[in-house]
Amino acid sequence: MKRVGYILLYVCLAVVAVFQVFPILWLFLFSLKNNQEIFSKSPFSLPTEFRWENYMKVWDSGIGGYFWNSVWITGVAIVFTVLLASMAAFAITRMKWKLSKAVLGLFMVGLMIPIHSSIIPLFNMFLKVDMIDNPWSIVITYTAYNLPITLMILLGFYYTLPREIEEAAIMDGCSVHRIFFRIILPMTVPVLSTTVIINMIYNWNEFVFVNTFISSDEYKTLTVGIQNFIGQYMTDWGAIGATLIISMLPILLAFLFFSNKVVEGISSSAVKG
């Protein structure tokens, strides 16, 4: 009976996996067809010719610039968010000071602020400091909005770290900065991987802030810039499919290579020892 239960479990998981992977596979095959194949044949049929030129067409038309903007804005925001959240988690959990609980409560309030309710205040603030149509306004916004959730994930792990490690480092003459950067931060790599993936998903797919604060094509990210290509290639459905595949490829690769780290980080945050 136990073996039958395992077989049924794997069958169910295989069915779920097929339903999850099939739309991605269908979109990939869709991107390699021309309009005639898309509309004259079954939507599930294989392309008669793999038209890789669809990808070259949209890349040469400028989507590469949008892609690069998404890469560097996402990457810089992740570095700032993870580093600042790690410092805050270290100060709140490993150091004794009077306002630590108040500061933690202030961070947690950030989880309750709806994104759309802050667009107008942020727009007015960036307008006053001449940061509208500036990519750094997006980096600052992403960092601020991702800090609370990142800090909340890190806190569970930091509370489980044995204090004997820090005490031994202090006995050896380490400063607070060296303890954090040379000892504590490397120990938190598993949970940092989890926060990096979560931040990457949000930053890469975010649309509202970029669409509000950025007006120049030079600074638009992929999620906003892709609108131009959908309008430009409205009659070329293969090119639209290629654009969508390019936009989702980094997230798929991140999950493919770091899924084990995500599970390990969640387990490390939840289980002591």
Taking the domains of the chain in order of start, what are their residue ranges?
Answer: 64-270
Q: What is the mean pLDDT of residues 2-27?
A: 87
Distance CA 245, CA 25 (A): 10
Asked if 27 contacts 244 with a C-beta cutoff of 8 angstroms, the reply is yes
Lowest mean pLDDT among 200-209, 211-220, 252-261: 252-261
- Of the given ranges (134-138, 162-166, 197-201), which has the lowest mean pLDDT? 162-166
Whether 58 contacts 229, CB under 8 Å:
yes
Q: Does pLDDT of 142 surpass 80?
A: yes
Backbone φ and ψ for 265, nearest 5 degrees, come out as: -65, -40
Q: Which residue has the higher pLDDT, 43 or 111?
A: 111
Is the pLDDT assigned to residue 205 strictly greater than 60? yes
**CA 176 to CA 90: how far, in whole Å?**
10
The span from the CA of 156 to the CA of 268, in Å, is: 8
**pLDDT tens-digit series, residues 73-131:** 999 999 999 999 999 999 998 888 888 889 888 888 888 888 778 899 999 999 999 99
Q: DSSP secondary-structure letter at 102?
A: H
pLDDT of residue 270: 46
Per-residue model confidence (pLDDT) at position 271: 46
- 217-227: average pLDDT: 84
The Cα angle at residue 97 between residues 91 and 101, in degrees rounded to 5: 75
d(CA 145, CA 113): 9
pLDDT, greater one: 148 or 233: 148
Looking at every residue in the chain, the average pLDDT score rounds to: 85
Contacts for 248 with CB less than 8 Å, ≥ 6 apart: 24
Q: Is 89 exposed, middle or buried (0-12, 13-18, 19+ CB in 10 A)?
A: buried
Per CATH, the architecture of 64-270 is what? Orthogonal Bundle (1.10)
Average pLDDT of the segment spanning 118-146: 93
- For the chain, count helices (H), then strands (E): 14, 0
CB 235 within 8 A of CB 35: yes
Quote the Cα angle for 88-91-96, to 5°: 150
Q: How many CB atoms lie within 10 A of CB 198?
A: 18
Instruction: List, for residues 229-238, the tens digit of each pLDDT value.
Output: 666 656 778 8
- pLDDT at residue number 260: 67
* pLDDT band at residue 259 using 50, 70 and 90 as cut-offs: low
Count of residues for the chain? 273
